[in-house]
Structure 1
Amino acid sequence: MTDNKTLDVPTLYIVPTPIGNLGDITQRALDVLSSVDVIAAEDTRHTGRLLSHFNIQTKTFALHDHNEQHKAQALVDKLLSGLSIALVSDAGTPLISDPGYHLVTQCRQAGVKVTPLPGACAVITALSASGLPSDRFSFEGFFPAKSKGRKDKLMEIAQVERTCIFYESPHRITDSLQDMLEILGPEREVVLARELTKTFETIQGMPLGELIEWVEADTNRKRGEMVLLVHGQREKKAEALPEEALRTLGILTKELPLKRAAAATAEIYNLKKNALYKWGLENLD
C-alpha cells in the first residue's frame, strides 16, 4: 500500500481483524494498519497485542461503547485536518455488534471518505458452515440479558421463514437455550457455532431439544465465543382439497364464473374459497 503521506484523500478505513486465527488477517488490512496515522481501537491493549505480533508501530486511540459518542468528533476533526484513521474492534468486522456506528455516521455527514475492507465476521463464518438456508437471513445481535427480553425477541422471530442469527455469551447459553425451547419448541433446528477459527472450533446443529442435551453433556461445550443460528419457520403445506369438493367445483364452473363457483363450493364443504379459486385457476379450463 502507498505510504499515508502520499494519500490524496484522508480516509476512515473499516478494518476487520481475526476472530481467532491470526492467519485470517488480510494483507490489505496489514498494509492499512501500517500506513494510517491512527488506529481507533475498541480495546487498545487487545489491539496492541495484534499489532505487536505483526510488528506494526502505528499509535492507537481508544474508541469503545462508553466513549464513542463524545470521542467520535475528535476523530472526525483529525480526519478533516488531513490524517487517515483505521477503525478496528477486538475481533471481526467493526460495527457488527461492536463500536463504530457513531463515528461512521459522523464521518459520512462531514463528507469524510469511508472505505470498508472485507474480512473476518463471525456471523458469515458461522452461516457458511451451518447447513441452514442462507438465501435469506437476519443478524439479530446479542440476545437480551433478561429472560423476558429473550422470550419477547424469540416470539418476534418465531414465525419468520428466514434463518436468524444471534451472538450469545457462555454464562447465558443454558438460559437462552431453555427460553428458545419454551418459545420455539424441541423440533426447531438450531446450530451452535463456538470458538470459530480457534483450536476447539465446534459447529453442532440438531433439533433444539437434542441440542440442549448435547450442550449439557459436556461443560466445555458452554465455553468460548458463541453464535446461535435458528432455522426459519418451515412453510406449511396447504391442506389437500377433498376430491368431492373439486368435482363439485368443476360441475359448478360449467354454469357459473369461477369466483362464484368457488364461493358456493366453499360454503357447501366449509372450505376456504381462495384455495378453491386458486386450484380452479391452475386446473380448470
Structure 2
Amino acid sequence: MTLLLLTACGQGDSNTPVQGAFLGGTQGVVTVFEPFGVEENGLQTIFDTEAFPIEVTLQNKGEYQVQPGEVKVQLLGPAPEEFEGIPSRELMNAGVLDEISELVPEGGEETISFTSDAKFVEEVANFLDRDWFANIEYTYKTFVVVPEVCLKEDLTDTRVCDVREPKQFFVSGAPITVTAVEEDTAGRGIMALKLTLRNAGTGKVTMPGLEFDDTRERLAFSIDDPAWECKSAGKVNEARLFNGEAEIVCKLKETLPQDTLSTKQVKLTLDYKYRELIQEKLRVKQSN
C-alpha cells in the first residue's frame, strides 16, 4: 500500500478526515448473489425441473488488499435436503481482492461458485418461495494517519504547533472508521492522542483469531512508533465497541527532552474480522 500524504489539504481546525492519503469511504467487501434464474415480478424465478447456479460475487470497495482465504462465504437458509447438486455450502476466496485506487476505482472482484447445477427436489404445488442467505466473514484493516502531532515540552511556547486541539487526519476506506482525533497532554512533556472509532457498516466486528460474539464487539490496533503506547478502556492494543463506538488513547512512554519543539507523523492500524449477511429470495414454480 502506498500512502500519498498531501498534508496541505484540509487546513484549519476541522476534526474530520480529509482526502489525500486515501480515497476514503466506509465500505469493505461488498457481496451480492448472482441471479438464480429469470426475474419475474421482482423475484428470481426457476421451474422445479431446471438446474440453476448459486454464485456470490465479492467486490472490495475499501483500501485494504484482501488476501486469498481471507473471505469465508457460508450458504444458509433452505434445508439441505430440499436442494441437490451443492457439493459444499462454505467456500473461501481463491485470489487477491485489490483495494480501490485511482487506477481501479471499483476495486478487485471475484465470483465464488457453489454450483452450476443446483436443483429443487421436493414437490411444488403452483409455486413456493425460499430465502437464501450468505454469511460473509472477512479479514480487514483500517489505516489512520495523523500527519502532524505536536511534540512540545514547553506548552507556553506558542511557536510551530498547538498541542490542545483537534488534529487533521487521514483514514482509509473501511467499515470501521475514525471520526475524530484530538491531541492533549497527560503531564508535562507527555503528549496524548485520542481517537474516536465507529462501526460505519451494518455488520459485526471481532478480533482476528476470535469467534464472533453478538454481545461483544472487539478489534485489535497498533501504532507504528514504539515511543507511544495505545490503550482502550485500559487494555493495550485492544478495543471494545459500545453502541458501535470506542476510544483509543495513545501516550508517549517517556517525557519529552527539555525544549523539544517539533511535529511528527504517526500511523495506526485497526485489525479485525467483519461479518455481514446478505439475502435473496428464490421462487420455484411448478412446471406442469
Q: TM-score range by the shorter chain?
A: under 0.3
* TM-score (structure 2 length as normaliser): 0.18
Q: TM-score normalised to the size of structure 1?
A: 0.19
Higher strand fraction (1 or 2): 2
Q: Greater CA radius of gyration, 1 or 2?
A: 1
Greater RCO (Cα-Cα under 8 Å, separation 6 or more): 2
